[in-house]
A and B are shown apart, each in its own frame.
Chain A
């Protein structure tokens, strides 16, 4: 910035730290933030009154964090949450860790007790930077108002570049109250202030060529696509690579939507509850092209039995992911979009130069054989029988307007959502993958709707998850954020129940939730939402149509579903992916997976 005037004010102008903080956020083009005021952060809430930034007042600080995440998921812009010190900061811990695990760009601002009180166990004091050190990409306690602009610039720079992640700025109350001389560091000054931070975005040319040769040579390749492809806005590049090479694609839980589910090359989700085709294609592969994926244990199963014959090309912007779980044959550090684009060029050059691609026809016919034999399936309910959760999802999917964003909590409903939805566009799927945070979906859906008000946002939640963060629907009602929540209510902690059924001899311990308490319809109504209860399959479509027609307030649909339903396929923990458990109707055909 060369002019003497930033868009938010004159350089050198004497303002308070609080004013500098809000100005700084405006300078970073923050249009909305999620938060809840309290003692130490109070000074920052005064200049907010005259700011262009929309502030959404949450009912619990954890909600602010997940809303910021939901916003970031669907917009690609950093989500911003602001809360006070002590308990508010500790309530922010779960969303920070969630964003850290799933590489979500996020900036959290926490109040802190005055500098003179730090370390004295003052009222609402906690060691916020200490507590959040290992769950943020970076954090900083700002000890002088003069330093705030640089801290803000660094926070946004670090949160959004390289492997994205959450950054926390902890601001003592007196730093907000003190006067400072307004300044706004230039890009160069920011870079100079971070001599150790230089993310490598451009992949190594020789390694990309090597990868291209390996891709053309391999006979059973699979594109193993992770969330990094979405973070890098690389969906178009990925599609070009897949279509050029005709290599089948699996999209992990974090990458659903990065490649269209209705594309003939898409095999769906791999992993513990992935499709039999995706899981088996990886197991039998001779080359896994891992793009922004991190070989998570939920994908690999028992690591030493994972894709035993596969060579590995591993593209990731974070060098520490390479070799962390599985040693790559061709490691490429870089931004997925840039690297994939270069990879496409390198393959085209080789093809034009006369290098042939191995014949993939035998592989493709093997893969389509699996696909025919092992589609996702569940047993339809008998007439008058219990409502199936998968059926609800299919109906929701079929009635959803184009481009609907689906948000989920964590558990059985999350897996069914990922399995039964059709994700054909990137950034239409929001969930808590790495941390597995129950209660994520209601606030994340609110954040997503704030980020994309033009889109329909459905949250699929479990009754267990819903009871953790449902109070944010009050926020949604008051702030006029019309999200739609479908509770797949089986009155159980369903995934835990499933594990107890399968691995603890049906000894159900502390998993039953009360079927009639709370009354979800009344609860929804008490929070200003429309509440609808669905008990019978015949009522599903009408209820969904009604929910889709309401756009002036949130809607909660309480689907009373069959508690006995199990998520299939499943790979039991500690076993290899070859030991995939198929739904009962398919297990007699298991030998076809050879």
Chain B
């Protein structure tokens, strides 16, 4: 992670949407493949899809460590991996959720609430000297929000890693379905 914008899209970051059979151990298989081959996972989000037998893993990979093509080919060797698409961030809808505990004295609380409202976030919990806020949105919006909150003091924060789907009008271009040879079909 680097600089003030750890979640921004670095040029070496690529987003893979990996459809897997929803079976025990499948996340461990994917994670251990990355560890074993020395590939870097930047962020990872996983959940079942609309079809219960499949899960979708959205992985942001840092391909400084290996060519994307080799990563895709190795992923395809996992028996549980069904489909892999590379998502173009400019043509995809990306969302991420963050929750954060912010130091907030009584006098600062109003400012923070205003900020949360501007960003269309939520206050989840209020304490004597802190609030917990949540925000969902594009990773960039979360970055901006985090920057503005920093002045009050962020005690703890957690982000989910991004999930994404191709935009509807450009679906064919935004998502490159990759074949087992790591190439666009």
Q: Digit string of B11-46 for contact with A (CB within 8 Å is 1, else 0)?
A: 000000000110011001100110010000000000
Given A130-B28, A133-B28, A134-B32, CB of A195 within 8 Å of CB of B21: yes
A30 CB, min distance to chain B CBs, angstroms: 21
When the two chains form the complex, which single residue of B24, B32, B79, B180 contacts A319, counting CB atoms closer than 8 Å? B180
A194: chain B residues at CB < 8 Å are 79
In the bound complex, how far is the Cα of B77 from the Cα of A531, in angstroms? 47
Q: Which of A323-342 contact B (CB under 8 A)?
A: 323-324, 331, 333
The answer to whether A320 touches B70 (Cβ under 8 A) is yes
The answer to whether A133 touches B32 (Cβ under 8 A) is yes
The answer to whether B67 touches A196 (Cβ under 8 A) is no
The answer to whether A320 touches B74 (Cβ under 8 A) is yes
Q: Does A318 contact B (CB under 8 A)?
A: yes
Q: Digit string of A83-115 for contact with B (CB within 8 Å is 1, else 0)?
A: 000000000000000000000000000000000
When the two chains form the complex, which single residue of A130, A137, A200, A324 contacts B180, counting CB atoms closer than 8 Å? A200
A324: chain B residues at CB < 8 Å are 70
Q: Digit string of B63-75 for contact with A (CB within 8 Å is 1, else 0)?
A: 0000101100110
Q: Does B181 contact A (CB under 8 A)?
A: yes
Which residue of chain B has the shortest Cβ distance to A320 in the bound complex? B73
A197: chain B residues at CB < 8 Å are 79
The answer to whether B21 touches A196 (Cβ under 8 A) is yes
Which residue of chain A has the shortest Cβ distance to B29 in the bound complex? A133
In the bound complex, how far is the Cα of B28 from the Cα of A141, in angstroms? 14
A138: chain B residues at CB < 8 Å are 79
Which residue of chain A has the shortest Cβ distance to B37 in the bound complex? A134
In the bound complex, how far is the Cα of B67 from the Cα of A133, in angstroms? 23
B139: chain A residues at CB < 8 Å are none
When the two chains form the complex, which single residue of A137, A143, A333 contacts B181, counting CB atoms closer than 8 Å? A333
Given A133-B29, A196-B79, CB of A319 within 8 Å of CB of B181: yes
B60 CB, min distance to chain A CBs, angstroms: 21
A152 CB, min distance to chain B CBs, angstroms: 15
Which residue of chain B has the shortest Cβ distance to A165 in the bound complex? B77
When the two chains form the complex, which single residue of A158, A195, A196, A319 contacts B182, counting CB atoms closer than 8 Å? A319
The answer to whether A320 touches B28 (Cβ under 8 A) is no
Which residue of chain A has the shortest Cβ distance to B180 in the bound complex? A319
The answer to whether B77 touches A320 (Cβ under 8 A) is yes
B83: chain A residues at CB < 8 Å are 196
Q: Does A129 contact B (CB under 8 A)?
A: yes
B29: chain A residues at CB < 8 Å are 133
B133: chain A residues at CB < 8 Å are none
The answer to whether A158 touches B79 (Cβ under 8 A) is yes
Q: Which of A187-207 contact B (CB under 8 A)?
A: 194-198, 200
In the bound complex, how far is the Cα of B21 from the Cα of A194, in angstroms? 9
B89 CB, min distance to chain A CBs, angstroms: 25
B180: chain A residues at CB < 8 Å are 198, 200, 319, 333
Given A134-B32, A318-B77, CB of A323 within 8 Å of CB of B69: yes
Query: Which of A129, A200, A319, A322 gathers the greatest number of chain B CB atoms within 10 Å?
Result: A319
A196: chain B residues at CB < 8 Å are 20-21, 76, 78-83
A322: chain B residues at CB < 8 Å are 73, 181
B29 CB, min distance to chain A CBs, angstroms: 6
A158: chain B residues at CB < 8 Å are 79
A319: chain B residues at CB < 8 Å are 73, 76, 180-182
Which residue of chain B has the shortest Cβ distance to A133 in the bound complex? B32
A195: chain B residues at CB < 8 Å are 21, 82
Q: How many inter-chain residue pairs (CB < 8 Å) link A and B?
A: 51
Q: Considering only CB atoms and an 8 Å cut-off, how many residues of chain A contact the other chain?
A: 23
Given A134-B33, A200-B180, CB of A323 within 8 Å of CB of B81: no
A129: chain B residues at CB < 8 Å are 25
Q: Considering only CB atoms and an 8 Å cut-off, how many residues of chain B contact the other chain?
A: 25
B182: chain A residues at CB < 8 Å are 319
B70: chain A residues at CB < 8 Å are 320, 323-324
In the bound complex, how far is the Cα of B180 from the Cα of A141, in angstroms? 26
Q: Which of B129-168 contact A (CB under 8 A)?
A: none
A198: chain B residues at CB < 8 Å are 180
In the bound complex, how far is the Cα of B29 from the Cα of A197, in angstroms? 15
B68 CB, min distance to chain A CBs, angstroms: 11
In the bound complex, how far is the Cα of B77 from the Cα of A158, in angstroms? 11
A320: chain B residues at CB < 8 Å are 70, 73-74, 76-77
A137: chain B residues at CB < 8 Å are 77, 79
In the bound complex, how far is the Cα of B79 from the Cα of A537, in angstroms? 54
A56 CB, min distance to chain B CBs, angstroms: 29
Which residue of chain B has the shortest Cβ distance to A324 in the bound complex? B70
In the bound complex, how far is the Cα of B24 from the Cα of A141, in angstroms? 9
Which residue of chain B has the shortest Cβ distance to A139 in the bound complex? B25
Which residue of chain A has the shortest Cβ distance to B78 in the bound complex? A196
Query: Which of B20, B69, B74, B181 gathers the greatest number of chain A CB atoms within 10 Å?
Result: B181
B67: chain A residues at CB < 8 Å are 323
Query: Which of B28, B73, B80 gathers the greatest number of chain A CB atoms within 10 Å?
Result: B73
In the bound complex, how far is the Cα of B31 from the Cα of A501, in angstroms? 42
In the bound complex, how far is the Cα of B21 from the Cα of A195, in angstroms? 8
In the bound complex, how far is the Cα of B65 from the Cα of A158, in angstroms? 29
In the bound complex, how far is the Cα of B70 from the Cα of A198, in angstroms? 18
A333: chain B residues at CB < 8 Å are 180-181
The answer to whether A331 touches B79 (Cβ under 8 A) is no
Which residue of chain B has the shortest Cβ distance to A333 in the bound complex? B181
Which residue of chain B has the shortest Cβ distance to A135 in the bound complex? B36
A416 CB, min distance to chain B CBs, angstroms: 33
In the bound complex, how far is the Cα of B72 from the Cα of A324, in angstroms? 12
B37 CB, min distance to chain A CBs, angstroms: 9
In the bound complex, how far is the Cα of B135 from the Cα of A414, in angstroms? 63
In the bound complex, how far is the Cα of B50 from the Cα of A282, in angstroms? 53
Q: Digit string of A123-144 for contact with B (CB within 8 Å is 1, else 0)?
A: 0000001100110011001010
In the bound complex, how far is the Cα of B106 from the Cα of A92, in angstroms? 63
In the bound complex, how far is the Cα of B36 from the Cα of A130, in angstroms? 13
In the bound complex, how far is the Cα of B53 from the Cα of A194, in angstroms? 12
The answer to whether A134 touches B36 (Cβ under 8 A) is yes
In the bound complex, how far is the Cα of B80 from the Cα of A129, in angstroms? 14
A454 CB, min distance to chain B CBs, angstroms: 36
A367 CB, min distance to chain B CBs, angstroms: 33
In the bound complex, how far is the Cα of B28 from the Cα of A195, in angstroms? 19
In the bound complex, how far is the Cα of B20 from the Cα of A324, in angstroms? 24
Which residue of chain A has the shortest Cβ distance to B19 in the bound complex? A196
A89 CB, min distance to chain B CBs, angstroms: 16
In the bound complex, how far is the Cα of B78 from the Cα of A195, in angstroms? 11
Known: A195-B21, A323-B67. 11 other contacts (CB 8 A): A129-B25, A134-B36, A137-B79, A138-B79, A158-B79, A194-B79, A196-B20, A319-B180, A319-B181, A323-B70, A324-B70
- Write 13 A-B pairs (CB below 8 A) sorted by A numbering: A129-B25, A133-B29, A141-B25, A194-B79, A196-B21, A196-B78, A196-B81, A196-B83, A200-B180, A318-B77, A319-B76, A320-B76, A331-B181
- Sort A-B residue pairs by CB-CB distance and give the 7 closest, nearest first: A320-B73, A196-B82, A319-B181, A138-B79, A134-B36, A196-B81, A319-B73
Interface set of B (CB-CB < 8 Å, partner A): 20-21, 24-25, 28-29, 32-33, 36, 67, 69-70, 73-74, 76-83, 180-182
